[in-house]
Structure 1
Amino acid sequence: MAEPRQTRNTERTRRAILDAAQQVILEKGAAVTLAQVASVAGVSKSGLIHHFGNRDQLVVAVVEDVHDQFRESVLSHLDLSENYPGKMLRAYVRVLCAESTDAVAARDFTSAPMWSGLYAIPAVAAVMSGQSAWWSEQFTLDGLSTERVLIVRRAAEGVAAAGVYGEEGEAGIAAARRLLLELTTEGTFHTPV
């Protein structure tokens, strides 16, 4: 019976470390140290190293975890009753341009300057490349033109970043969300002649 309890504690500690690391990375950027993360997580530095062998392993795990959470959030906003192309892209827009604080993590995630120093770690760059390829594949399968996906996807990411930096309020985000969702519907995107 001691085994399941140990597993739960291990999972809980690992989760606390990942959450603390994400918080510290958002505050300090690439200058994050294991000691800072351990302090915020409420574990010893050696306890942190037990779960993540070094700083790079921890950072990679955080980037993977944030991507997993973001993907889960988008998938939870997927409306399978929409029987026309663009379902995945609409879910992506709904998450990044949410009208409430539900998308704070997604918006933080899109703030590249907060994460940019981490891209120098080769394993982080590989994770980012793999994630980008996964999203591109999903949007290709979604049935919309490459141009439409490019415009809507990058605009949603920009709106989310503007929300993080306080450059866009809830009303502006809501208006952008409505327009971007409209652009994911066939016939609403007109190319100039």
Structure 2
Amino acid sequence: MLAHAEKLERDAYLAEYQKIEKATAFFKTDGLDTSFNVEGNGDTWKKAKQVSDALYQDSDGHFEQSWGLYLGLIADQKDVDPFLVYELLKVESGTTFDEKAVGPETKYGHAYGMAQFMTNTAPWIADMAELEYEQEYLFNPYYAIHLSVQYLQFLYDQYEDWDKALTAYHRGMGGLQTYLAENGHAKSDYAVTIQQQARTHDSL
């Protein structure tokens, strides 16, 4: 009975793998990383499924389950808290998770997609993540999720402090330095809110 249940679970994961592989093929031209393979990574997929279910429920269905699975898998690969990324995406999208969002015009241009990346930032993050880049890709939820995880990993590696990493995500690395000079700390409302909200998922 257990073996049958495990087979059904594995088959379900394989179906999701194929769905994600198809959805990301345009920017992951060499295919998904081997760490995404279902065989040998059952525990990782199970954890990602738990993350996906929690985020789908928390968002009232706006954060699609396949997005949550991809987030869970990428976050595990990059050793970033998926709930931190989710709460960042919630803030950036104004709680709508609208993958087609366009931010207001600034002196640097507009920010695009669910993760609100600007065109002066996204290309080098994509390069760091070894992803193809086109501006239109920023409107793809899987792409936005991947870039946001990659950028957060990079920023945390730079600062080893989540207040600084999140404030830099929001204001830019130069903006972080300005904020530090003006306030003496990096505990911006943006950083504090995201971390507080991420901790509400800790029971998972």
With CA pairs under 8 Å and 6+ residues apart, which has the higher RCO, 1 or 2? 1
Which protein shows a greater Rg? 1
TM normalised by structure 2 equals: 0.25
TM-score by length of 1: 0.26
